A and B are shown apart, each in its own frame.
Chain A
Amino acid sequence: MTSSGSIIRIQGLGHRYKKRYALENIDLEIPAGCRVGFIGPDGVGKSTLLGVIAGQKKIQEGHVHVLGGDMRSGAHRLNVCSEIAYIPQGLGQNLYATLSVHENVDFFGRLFGFSREERAERINRLLTATNLAPFSQRPAGQLSGGMKQKLGLCCALIHDPELLIMDEPTTGVDPLSRRQFWELVADMSSHHQGMSILIATAYMEEAEHLDWLVMMESGRVLASGTPEELKQKAGKATIEDAYIALLPEEKRYGHHAFTTPPRIPVSDGSAIEARNLTKRFGDFTAVDDVSFTIPRGEIFGFVGSNGCGKTTTMKMITGLLPPTRGEAYLFGNSIEAGSIELRKRIGYMSQMFSLYGELTVRQNLEMHAHLFDLPSQAIPVRVGEMAALFGLQEVMDDQTERLPLGIRQRLSLAVATIHEPEILILDEPTSGVDPVARDHFWELLIGLSRKRGVTIFVTTHYMNEANRCDRVALMSMGRVLACESPERLIAGRGCHTLEEAFIAYMMDDIARSGTAVVEDDEKQSVSLTVSLQKSHKQGHFFDIYRLAALVRRETLELFRDPVRLITSFIITPFLLIVFGYGISIDIDNVKYTTLDYDQTLWSRDYLEYFSGSRYFSDKEPIRSPSEIEHGFQKGTYTMVIEIPPGFERDIKRGRSPAVGILMDGTMPFRAETTKNYVEAVHLSYLRDLAELSPVPVAHSSAQVQPRYWYNPLVRSRYAVVPGLLAVVLMLVPAMLTAIGVVREKELGSITNFYSSPMTRLEFLWGKQIPYIAVNALSFLVLLAVILFLFKIPFKGSYPALVSGALLYIIVSTGIGLFISTFTQTQIAALVAAFVITLVPSFDFSGLITPVSALTGGAKVMSLIFPARYFLSISVGTFTKGIGFPELVWDFFFLIIIYATLKVMTVMLLKKQDT
């Protein structure tokens, strides 16, 4: 099938998101065993293409053959997925932030079924080769960008893939780490000849050293071939220039080489001044004693890797973060004072995309114009001007989140400058934007600076952008290494480029401070890859070792988030106790008042029967019927007893006076119960009266003998408290797991599920088992609360209760997972968990209304919702004293519900991204 020498063959591949084509009619053949670069700006379809090749994304149109098979076939994907390693875009996306370096690599080792010795050997080798060994106990979330990337590489390489796919691995990594990373890649391919490496990158200069390149533009392949071929074809000296030259005419429009015109210094003081700014988070120093002054109108660049303290410094300057030590001044005013007027002079563009995606471009601009208090009549004009200046006229009514990144960045800048600020603070405004758009963006910035005298403070990790600044501060590990104009920085180190200069400064700094960072200079001779035999053949559809690996990881993560763990142990008993005391079906203390027109001994005697009953509680008597309404409305009482005038006289004459009872019927249940209480009190009065007087009481011709089963005193607590188990063991487990899968979707680690051999069932069970264990433990706590706090006697079979509870917890955590698979956002999952579990578990379970009395939709919902079956087990074993034989159907239905739920969840969970 495959032509010899090609590892990937693509024909007519197309991929759409809604209506927009991300890939269009791609034909491509990639030679085996070499390092292939996919270059082009953000949004041209590189990630989509790599995702399709890796088997992550579903193929919509066309054919893709990878490693000698059709990627449409699920069987082939399953076969080759252990030969493919995929590192998604974004630093550490597929890593688990709370797990340590060692635990992360170990998880992947277990997932691929290596034995303990083999894992130890491989992990040791990989961590040593990447110099991560000294940090093996550090949580992945606390690593620098470069280290995260190396860790990602370790995780990907542990199973010796034939094909390694990396999506923008070096974006946001400092130049030194980037250089080390490429050395690693070079090493890798020389040690392991057979391995093919696919890398997407937006840094064109990095692509120079690769074996083979694919240039992409607007979902199409612009050109492919070796770097030399491509440069020759375009007649340019660098890949970046070649790329621009190969662009279609209309895309190149307006692009020209440009330089920053020199600044004419104005001497009206400083715009921004930082004095000894320091920020510590715990014992970690994010920013260490940083000082600088930016005069008005200057373009000042902050250069450094992710996590070096750039953003923290900016936040301190804008007043978002209070410094641990030191001060920041804007126009000579302390930012601490932070007046509204001062903030109107600042424009800020934060690193995290700060526009509202659901709003259109016009709505975004108008909203910000209003928020900056521009006069209403001036707003349309100003919005028009900004649109023209930033080239947004054509997209004014498009929803922002659907626009390409480059345009969104321009809109962000427009938003940040709509109120004509004197200072612009921009945090990595161009990361991920293509070179043409980036140049365009910088022209706008330079225009603002030179023509309007705006002071610009910008952070970037692109060296060519840093070159355009008036002055540059090089930052590493919280400290400013040097602060000068780019030319002087380069000259000062005797280098050719700013990048080389930066690396030189970093080396100096490391040498000086003697930090723990082990350097690559002491070249490691350890090979990254090993070609041992795969240790054991894994099951295709279900593998117990993979499941164990997943359970282990989920458990570790759960333990690293003690808030979740502890609250789940506290919340369940808390809810049980509150409801155990609060929910009662016994009505007592009915509030009533009296309206006694008779005011005789007998009328008072009659009323005493009510005040003496524990079911009634009497309120201040009233004097006139006109008061009744007001008291009902206020809820002062819910019943009025009206004794007619001549009450005593009429009884004595045998004229049967009528006592009037008026009840508030708002709560029908209370009214009905009250009515019964009233009749009972009334009858007992009559009975006593009969003993005093010769009035005959009817002789009964038959006796009705009630026999209360299970709960002879009819204490509602005996039924309600065990019944509440069915409520709390539904609400909390479902809420805990509902977030599970959605959170992986939102945070990105779901890609591990797409790209590894784990099956859907393994993935779901891996998530579920730790939560089952946690909730089983909290069930024991609940049991203790019921037995010892509420003192409810247990009469039935413990094995039946315990196994029923376990089964029920399995079902309720399963409901949470089910919710998690059909929702897309965590908010929706949260609301769904409440809406789906709250009312059915309280009202359709038999806790309050017996299930045999439910009607209509409530009956149907009660039958499909598991709570009634477990309630029957729980109340049955506690109060009815029964066991397995009587409860067999409840167990049966719980199992049926679980099976149905699992099938639906598995069907809803997609093994590929759509």
Chain B
Amino acid sequence: MRMFRHIYRLGLKELISFRYDYVLIVLVLYSFTVMIIVPALGTGLQMRDAAVAYVDEDQSPLSARIREAIRKPYFKEPREIAFHDIDRVMDRSEYTFVIHIPGGFQKDVLAGRSPVVRIDIDATAAGHAKLGTTYLTRIITNEIYTYLHGSEKQAALPIELNIRVSYNQNRENSWFMSLVFLNHMITLLSIILPAAALIKEKERGTVEHLLVMPLVPLEITLAKVWANSFIIATGAMLSLLFAVKGVIGAPLHGSIFLFFIGTMFFLFAASALGIFLATIAKNLPQAGLLSMPIIVPISMLNGGTTPLESMPVFLQVIMKFAPTTHYLELSAAVLFRDAGIAVVWPQLLAMAAIGTVLFIGAMARFRATFR
């Protein structure tokens, strides 16, 4: 009881301090808005807005038809270039695809001479290269077919394929990406803020003052954990409602409350990691350098950019020990797939376990390093 009162009081002090660091407040706001909305809307691994150019040496109704069939959302409107420009635009990565329709194309098609349409693909844009080629091939074949047969209907296949996509029928990329970036920002702040707060007390010597008082290190650190988690959780929930749901328009099917509980578990684990770093680093520059090889990999490899199952096995194993992996699994399951506690309890358990181990480690180092 007495301990809770101490933790509460010390945490209040953290909140008051935060209120006066304007640059930091601006950075937190920026992280929870711009840094989620802009990348979620404008980037993504998915085939969207790929840049296409064409060289049309035929200038026939058929070539025009093909050109017009290439459109959003997969492709930007294609631009015409000259044949001798192909090398240059490929080298400069101006377009990922160049479609080359040879002279006399329409005539050859009608004559059944099976002419060749060439697609030049910049294969260094690996994410678009394969998918885009498949799509372009399909578009071109379809257009020729309908040009010849007058309808889009092709002969029935011996086995039909009926593909349905759950949870995100239109495969709207920004929904998931906004969640990934929200995860990145929460990770970044929840590790750095408590670590920096603790090192600041160390550098200013106020931690000694606290240690001489009837306080134990556990109270001092838990106070930092709750206060910073409070700031981040508030920012995260507001960002979820206004940026992810409001601006991006992601439908949140699941329980926001359960997501909040999951976020609290994650904040505990991530702050514990931050506190642990603070007990190792001597000063802030060191803390910055030390946190970089931890924060950047655990947030970029949490399964949001490359799915976990597509990574090498050793990385999959390592990433099981990072709280970020479990947090992303939990967030996606709860928010997009409406999973309940019965489904996500292993993630909660994993984050609690990681947090506890790190926290115990930090406590063991605390007295030794803060003298």
Contact = CB atoms under 8 A, between A and B. Distances in A.
Q: Do A and B come from one complex?
A: yes
Contact residue range for chain A?
35 or more
Given A578-B301, A579-B300, A666-B332, A739 B285 contact: yes
Interface centre among A583, A714, A831 (most CB of B within 10 A): A831
A704 B44 contact: no
A409 B20 CA distance: 22
B175 to A, nearest CB: 8
A853 B93 contact: no
A341 B184 CA distance: 44
Contact of B124 (A346, A705, A711): A711
A319 B206 CA distance: 15
A889 interface: yes
Given A671-B171, A701-B144, A828-B23, A848 B309 contact: no
Interface stretch (A98-106, A171-179, A649-657): A649-657
Contacts of B172: 668
A590 interface: yes
A537 interface: no
Interface centre among B90, B130, B145, B295 (most CB of A within 10 A): B130
Given A352-B204, A586-B310, A875-B124, A666 B35 contact: no
A118 to B, nearest CB: 36
B127 interface: yes
B96 to A, nearest CB: 5
Interface stretch (B24-32, B236-244, B350-358): B24-32
A172 B18 CA distance: 33
A904 interface: no
Interface in A657-684: 657-673, 675-676, 678-679, 682
Contacts of B154: 698
Contacts of B152: none
Given A358-B19, A676-B131, A651 B158 contact: yes
Given A853-B128, A856-B38, A373 B214 contact: yes
A671 B168 contact: yes
Contacts of A575: 292-293, 296-297
B288 interface: yes
B306 A705 contact: no
Contacts of B118: 705-707
Contact of A702 (B117, B124, B296, B306): B117
A367 B20 CA distance: 18
B82 interface: no
B43 A854 contact: yes
B119 A831 contact: no
Interface string B26-50: 0100110011011101111111111
B84 interface: no
A340 B23 CA distance: 38
A319 B167 CA distance: 59
A340 B119 contact: no
Given A583-B301, A591-B309, A669-B44, A682 B114 contact: no
Contact of B126 (A321, A658, A719, A844): A719
B245 interface: no
B151 interface: no
A348 B209 contact: yes
A689 B127 contact: no
Contacts of A707: 118-121
Contacts of A58: none
A485 interface: no
A665 B124 contact: no
B10 A371 contact: yes
Interface stretch (A5-13, A382-390, A566-574): A566-574
A743 B21 CA distance: 17
Contact of B309 (A320, A589, A666): A589
Contacts of A736: 289
Interface residues of B, number: 146
A782 to B, nearest CB: 14
Contact of A358 (B17, B105, B144, B338): B17
Contacts of B94: 852
A582 B163 contact: no
A711 B126 CA distance: 9
Contacts of B95: 852
A698 B297 contact: no
Contact of A835 (B12, B27, B44): B27
Contacts of B105: 702
Nearest to A707: B120
A706 B121 contact: yes
Interface string A777-794: 000000000000000000
B371 interface: yes
Interface string A519-539: 000000000000000000000
Contacts of B205: 350-354
Contacts of A855: 41-42, 49
A830 interface: yes
A38 to B, nearest CB: 28
Interface in A436-464: none
Nearest to B53: A852
A670 B307 contact: yes
A702 B39 CA distance: 40
A702 B137 CA distance: 11
A718 B127 CA distance: 12
B331 to A, nearest CB: 10
A679 B161 contact: yes
Nearest to A650: B159
Contact of A739 (B44, B192, B284, B333): B284
Contacts of B296: 575, 731, 838
B155 A371 contact: no
Contacts of A769: none
Given A344-B214, A350-B209, A371-B6, A835 B289 contact: no
Contacts of B158: 651, 654, 656, 686, 689-690, 693, 695
Given A583-B306, A634-B339, 7 more contacts: A348-B213, A354-B209, A363-B13, A575-B292, A585-B126, A664-B166, A731-B296
28 contacts: A315-B371, A353-B204, A354-B206, A358-B16, A367-B9, A563-B286, A564-B286, A568-B289, A583-B300, A588-B310, A617-B309, A633-B338, A660-B162, A664-B165, A672-B46, A675-B165, A679-B161, A689-B159, A706-B133, A707-B120, A711-B123, A718-B123, A830-B287, A830-B288, A831-B27, A833-B288, A848-B305, A872-B92
